[in-house]
Amino acid sequence: MKNSNGVLKQKKSHELLNPQKKLGNTRHSLAHLLAAAVLKKFPNAKLGIGPAIETGFYYDFLLPRQLTSGDLKDFEETMRTMILECLRFTGKKVTPVLAKKLFKDQKFKLELISDFTKEKKPLTVYSTGNIFMDLCRGGHVKNTSEINPDAFRLTHIAGAYWKGNEKNPQLTRIYGVAFDSKKELEDYLMKQEEAKKRDHRRLGKDLSLFAIADEIGPGLPLFYPKGAILRRTVENFIQDLQEKNGYEPIWIPHITKGELYKISGHLDKYDAMYPPMKLKGEAEYYLKPMNCPHFMMLYRTRAHSYRELPIRWTATTTVYRLEKSGELSGLTRVRSLTQDDCHVFAKADQIENEINLMLDMLEKVYGAFGFNDFRVHISTHDPKDIKKYIGERKIWKQSEKILENLIQKRSWSFEIVPGEAAFYGPKLDFIFKDVLGREWQLSTIQLDMNLPKRFELEYTDENGKRKEPIVIHRAILGSTERFLGIIVEHFAGAFPFWLAPVQVSILTINEKTFPFAKGIERELRKSEIRVEIDSRNETIGKKIREAEMQKVPFILIIGDKEVAANKVAVRERGKGDLGQKTLEEFLKIAK
277 binds a copy of itself (CB under 8 A): yes
CB of residue 254 vs a copy of itself: minimum separation in angstroms? 5
What is the rounded CA–CA span in Å between residue 75 and residue 39?
A: 10
Amino acid code (one letter) for 471:
V
343 catalytic per annotation: yes
Catalytic residue at 205? no
From candidates 102, 283, 544, 578, binder to a copy of itself by CB under 8 A: 283
Alpha-carbon span 32 to 80, nearest angstrom:
13
**106: annotated active-site residue:** no
Binds a copy of itself (CB under 8 A): choice among 138, 225, 370, 496: 225
Among 229, 473, 436, 208, which residue's Cα sits nearest to residue 340?
473
CB atoms within 10 A of CB 174: 26
Distance CA(69)–CA(155), nearest Å, equals 9
Alpha-carbon distance values, 237 to 138, 243, 318, 368, 512 (Å) = 55, 10, 17, 10, 39
Candidate residues 336, 446, 479, 503; the one interacting with a copy of itself per rule CB under 8 A: 336
- 341 catalytic per annotation: yes
Contact 62, 48 (CB under 8 A): yes
Active-site annotation holder among 32, 427, 567, 581: 427
DSSP-based three-state secondary structure for 279: coil
Q: Quick one: which of 64, 138, 169, 249 contacts a copy of itself (CB under 8 A)?
A: 249
Q: Residues 548-566, buried b or exposed e (16+ Cβ, 10 A)?
A: eebbbbbbbbbbeebbeee
Which position among 15, 119, 166, 215 is part of the footprint of a copy of itself (CB under 8 A)?
Answer: 215
Is 88 noted as a catalytic residue in this protein? no
Q: Min. distance of Cβ 584 from a copy of itself in angstroms?
A: 23
Shortest Cβ 470–a copy of itself spacing (Å): 20
- With CB under 8 A as the contact rule, the residue among 1, 211, 565, 589 that binds a copy of itself is 211
DSSP state of 450: S
Active-site annotation holds for 385: no
Is 254 among the catalytic positions?
no
Residue 229 amino acid letter: I
Question: Closest distance between a copy of itself and the C-beta of residue 240, in Å?
Answer: 11
Which DSSP helix (H) or strand (E) runs through 92? strand 89-94
542 counts as binding a copy of itself under rule CB under 8 A: no
Residue number, 525 or 561, with CB nearest to a copy of itself: 525
| Direct distance between the N- and C-terminal alpha carbons of the chain, in angstroms, rounded to an integer | 35
CA dihedral 299, 305, 308, 312 (to 10 degrees): 30
Closest CA to 314 of 486, 472, 484: 472
- Give yes or no for residue 274 binding a copy of itself (CB under 8 A): yes
Order of strands across the sheet with 277-278?
255-257, 284-287, 277-278
Q: Give yes or no for residue 464 binding a copy of itself (CB under 8 A).
A: no
DSSP-derived secondary structure letter, 169: P
Site for a copy of itself in 546-565 (CB under 8 A): none
Q: Are strands 374-380 and 427-433 parallel, antiparallel or unpaired?
A: antiparallel
Min separation Cβ 420 and a copy of itself, Å: 32
User: Cβ closer to a copy of itself: 340 or 415?
Assistant: 340
Q: Which is nearer to a copy of itself, 328 or 422 (CB)?
A: 328
CB of 283 to a copy of itself, least distance (A): 7
Sheet holding 439-448, edge to edge: 248-249, 311-320, 336-346, 470-479, 439-448, 427-433, 374-380, 413-418
Among 96, 138, 217, 576, binds a copy of itself (CB under 8 A): 217
Which one is catalytic: 106, 136, 242, 339? 339
Least separation in angstroms between CB 287 and a copy of itself? 7
The angle at the Cα of 171, spanning 165 to 176, to the nearest 5 degrees, equals: 110
The residue (of 143 and 318) whose beta carbon lies closer to a copy of itself is: 318
Using CB under 8 A as the binding rule, whether residue 285 contacts a copy of itself is answered as yes
- Considering only 232, 347, 410, 518, the residue that binds a copy of itself (CB under 8 A) is 232
Q: Per rule CB under 8 A, is residue 221 in the interface with a copy of itself? A: yes
Binding-site string for a copy of itself from residue 302 to residue 331, where x marks contact by CB under 8 A and - marks none: x----x-----x-x--x-x-x--x------
Strand-pair partners of 526:
none
Smallest distance, a copy of itself to C-beta of residue 297, A: 5
Give the catalytic positions in this structure.
292, 321, 339, 341, 343, 427, 473
Binding residues for a copy of itself, per CB under 8 A? 208, 211, 213-217, 220-225, 227-229, 231-232, 244, 248-257, 259-260, 263, 274-279, 282-283, 285, 287, 294, 297-298, 300-302, 307, 313, 315, 318, 320, 322, 325, 336, 525, 536
